Every structure is written in C-alpha cells, then in structure tokens.
Structure 1
Amino acid sequence: MARWEVVHPAHPSRWAGVTMAGFRHHGPDPADVHVIPHPSITLALEFGSGPHVVDTDSGRQQQGNLVAGFMHDAIRVRGHAVECVQVRLSPVTAHAVLGISPAELDDVVVPLDQLWGHDATRAQEQISQARSWQERFALTNTLLIRRLAAGREVDREVAWAWNRITSSRGRLRIDDLAHELGWSRKRLWSRFRTQLGLPPKRAAKLVRFDHAVHRLAAGQHAAGVAADTGYADQAHLHRDVLAFTGTTPATMTSRVWLAVDEIAWTAHRTTNKPQ
C-alpha cells in the first residue's frame, strides 16, 4: 500500500501567508493523489529520484519544480519516488515572491524556472543535497525571504481586503467590504483581481470552502458544517464540494488528498514529526 511521510517545520514561518511541508512517498506502487483547490498559490520544489507529474483537467501535464495558481478544479499528482517541499503562499505574499501577479497564473500549473530562472535550479540542487527536512525548510525559507525583500508589494488596501476575507472565513459580503474601504464595488473588483489573481467574491467562496472542507475532513457532519460556515443549506455546501473536488462531501473524506495542513488528508500518513 502506498504511504506518505508528511513533515512540518519545527517552527512556523515568521512571514505571514507562508506555510510549508515536506512530502515523501513510500511503497512499490506509484503515487497517485489529488490536490484540491486552496486559497493560496502553491510551489512544489522536488528533490526525489523521479519527477512527479501533475495532470490538470485541461489535459496538460507538467513535471519538476512547479507553481500552481488558483485552481478551479482538483489536480492529479502522480509519479515514482515523489519527494518535495511544498510551499503555500497567500496571494498577497505570492505577488512579491513570484515577481508577477497571481492573475497570470489563474487555473494553470507552470514550471517554476519560467518565473525564477536559475533560482529554481539552485534551490533544487541545495534541497537535494540537504540532510534533513528541517535543513530543507531552512533553505526554502532563506530563498523566500530573499525574494520577498526584492519583490513588489500589493497595494495596502488590497492586502487589507484579503485579510478581511480570510479573517471572516469567507463570510464577509463584498458590498460591505467595499463600503469599509470607501471604494465602489467595481473598483474593489478591478484592483483585487489585477493584483491578487481572482475576484473578491470568488476569493470569499474559496476561503469559505477551504474552512468547510477542513471540518468535513475532520469527520464533522455536513449539515452542521454547512450551518456553521455560512452556507445557505447543506445542498449549497454539496454543490461547492462537488464543483471544487469532483466528488461529494460523503465520499471526499475517504479519498487521499495531498495538502499542507494540520490534516494531511490521507489515512496513509506515516508521520508529521519534524526531522
């Protein structure tokens, strides 16, 4: 049976909007898992002996060091000897780290060297030579800090709007958000979409879904989750889960998902202790 080793850094990043984890696949069978949409930009820095391949619903394939924008649907990750450091970046942080607006990565997965050039190659070489997960995390963090310091920040109002959406867990009305900013709804939509890569309403929907699906993964009943997370009813939650994952709330909790969270969504996890 395929098993996943999932390792988290000993200490959280001191930069807001940055989370990391290490993934290593064990077993004679190839890895074959899905990554569901998440309110972040995802980087995968691989160092295993065999490249992992990412399949999207559009039929395109990518492999190696990758960056995935805001995905509309679940994507498939497969391969032999998969080993990688996965980094999740909020769109506010990603704007500076990547050197481009997340708007240019909407629903796509691209090779990281297209954005970072030699930085991506050097990062892979250093991570491959590291002797422990914690050393790999430290190397990755150093790279991110260097790029953050050199990158361009988003507008303060846009960053504030994103933080309001996430702190409300996606339950904030966009008209109320625009009012708090003193902006028109059209201005908020335009600035948010241009700088962060998705409209504010879709951002709120994705944040709310992420909060709800974590509770489902933890074993909570769908009706209670729907009521507590701002869905009109259980059917509304069902539609969102189906749209984002391709499966129902009842079946998604038994699937193997690859994610950087307190819950690495797999019954086959071997460890989450730092090494």
Structure 2
Amino acid sequence: MGHHPPRSRRLSHHSDLGRWEFAFREPDPRLRPYVQSYAGFDESGIRFHRRRELAIAHVAVIFNTGPAFRISDPRESRAPETYAHGFIGGLYDSYVVTEGSGASRGVQVYFTPVGAHLFLGLPLHQIAQQVIHYGDLGPEARRLEQRLGGLEDWDDCFDLLDAVIAARIADARPPWAGVAWAWDRLCASHGAVDIGSLSAELGCSRKHLIAQFREQAGLPPKSIARILRFQHAVGLLQSTDAMPWAELAAECGYYDQSHLIRDFNQFAGSPPSDFLRRRLPEGGGMRD
C-alpha cells in the first residue's frame, strides 16, 4: 500500500538553531465550537532551551511523548515544575516560560474555553493561571496519553483526538449557552465588544456573565477581551514587521502606543520590538 498524502499543514526548519517540524490541522467540523486546532511537534538539536509561551485565549492541552518539560511563571519566585508527561495550560493573563532538553515531541490541542470545560469536566477557574498535570485527571486521561504515544503519524493522532473529544463532549452536561455566544462575539471583534453590551444583549447582569465566564472559561470576559486584542496585534506583527507601533495600536483598538506596549509587556514579557527580535522562524515561537 502507498502512503496517503498528509491532511495536515506542515512547517519545518533546520539551521544552527536546531531542527523542528510542526503539523497543524483543524478538527472535525462538528468540533469547531470546542476545538480551535491541533498541532504536532517534533524537535531535536535545539541550541536554546527556554521559550516564552504567550498569553492566548485558548486552553492548551499538551500530550508530551518526548523528554520532560520544565515550566515556570515569571511572576512567581518558586523553581520551575517538571512535566514528564502531558499537561494543561489554563487561561493566563501573563506568559509562562518553558524549558526543554533540546529535543521534544508531542501533540497539542487548542480548546475553546467552552470546549475545555466540557472535555475536562471541571470548572475552569480551578486551572486558571496555572499548569496542571494531565494525568492527574485519572486513568482515562493516562490511557489517551499512552495511545497517542504509540502513534507515529500526525494525522492518526488527530483522528484519534477527533473521536475521543467528540465522545466526551457528547456525554457532557450542556453549559449555559450565553458564554459560547459571548465568546464568539469577542473572537469576531478581536476583543472589541464592550462587556456591558454583551450582558445587555444576553438579558443578564454583568455579575452573572462574569460568574459564568469564571466557571466555563476561567477568566472574566474583560481579561479575555484583552488577550484577544493582543493576539490580533501579534498576528498583524507576524504578517508584516514594518507597521509603525502607533498604526498597529490604532488598528487593534488600543488607546495609544503606550497602551499597546503595556499589554505586550504583560502578555509577552517584552515590548513589540523585542518580540520581533526574539521570534523564531517557521512557527518556532519566541525565545526567552
């Protein structure tokens, strides 16, 4: 039998920085409200060992099938924690630093907050602002890690995730639909919708909306709106390095250039100019 062409998008890089390959695929269309995308990663010979993981408005679940990672929160003084297997990154209103050994391999799922709430089966405020071991969720979680570790083809991994996530979400208790609706409005506007307008359109109080976001997303809607606006700015920077900071700030809905820089310092640990200097080629992320 011949090899089937990959159904995922591939990026690769090989230089004195090291070698890395990434595979990206969207989930089954039925899962689009719950999963933003899948990513597979395989790295070796990496000459640097620390990356910054920027704040994102998605919950990342990483199935680590390679060497251990060490992860630290720059706002805390305690030593980095080691993650030999899978882990979950709840919503953060900062960045975190990951340290590797020079090689890594695994699969990452970017859940929408509602999707993570349904898949993980727990209130997301319990994992907000922290990273937890995926295996702590029980034997079923550990079995999924083992099954993914036994697969070599990225598309086979993504197919397995499609099936497992669809089954878990089908069995989950449906959440309050207002959070999913508000999430879609925030994403479509890159965080530009006023929270008071969202609660008014839903016919609920701001307090109720914030409480539901705490349960189903982990952070209040205003914080998520800020992260979405920051993500929009990062996306524009990735596509064009030459946009003046004041123009970028205006395009993304910041009050002024200093407002843009404050958010970059909080969510990336650096102003935009330093972000560009630290950015790695071919999807490699940001060096610390």
Specify the SS of the correspondent of 2:278. Answer: coil
Question: Are the aligned partners of 2:23 and 2:40 in contact in 1 as well (CA < 8 Å)?
Answer: yes
Aligned length: 261
Instruction: Report sequence identity in percent.
Output: 31
Letter in 2 for 1:110: I
Q: What TM-score, normalized to structure 1?
A: 0.88
Instruction: Return 5+ residue gaps in structure 2 as ranges.
Output: 1-16
Deviations 1:14-55 (A, max 9, x none): 21231110111121646422211100111000112x222222
The 1:186/1:267 distance shift into structure 2, 3 A limit, reads: closer
- Following superposition, the deviation at residue 257 of structure 1 comes to 6.4
Residue equivalent to 2:160: 139
Which of 239, 244, 252 aligns to 2:267? It is 244
Deviations 1:146-195 (A, max 9, x none): 22122223201121111111111100011111111122222222222233
RMSD: 2.1
Residue equivalent to 1:271: none
Question: Are the aligned partners of 2:38 and 2:158 in contact in 1 as well (CA < 8 Å)?
Answer: yes
Residue equivalent to 2:42: 24
1:206 to 2:227 alignment: yes
Residue equivalent to 1:229: 252
Residue equivalent to 2:118: 96
Question: Are the aligned partners of 2:53 and 2:285 in contact in 1 as well (CA < 8 Å)?
Answer: no
Q: What TM-score, normalized to structure 2?
A: 0.84
- Following superposition, the deviation at residue 65 of structure 1 comes to 0.4
Residue equivalent to 2:68: 51
Of 182-191 and 235-244, deviating more is: 182-191
Instruction: Return 5+ residue gaps in structure 1 as ranges.
Output: 269-275
Residue equivalent to 1:264: 283
Q: Distance between the aligned counterparts of 2:95 and 2:238, measured in 1? A: 16
**Structure with greater contact order relative to length (CA < 8 Å, sep ≥ 6):** 1
Letter in 2 for 1:193: R
1:162-177 aligned within 5 A: 162-177=183-198
The 1:23/1:31 distance shift into structure 2, 3 A limit, reads: farther
Q: Distance between the aligned counterparts of 1:236 and 1:120, measured in 2? A: 41
Q: Distance between the aligned counterparts of 1:206 and 1:265, measured in 2? A: 21
- Following superposition, the deviation at residue 265 of structure 1 comes to 4.8
Question: Are the aligned partners of 2:59 and 2:111 in contact in 1 as well (CA < 8 Å)?
Answer: yes
Q: Distance between the aligned counterparts of 1:219 and 1:35, measured in 2? A: 21
4+ residue runs over 4 A deviation = 265-268
Specify the SS of the correspondent of 2:193. Answer: coil
Q: Distance between the aligned counterparts of 1:257 and 1:143, measured in 2? A: 33
The 1:53/1:256 distance shift into structure 2, 3 A limit, reads: farther
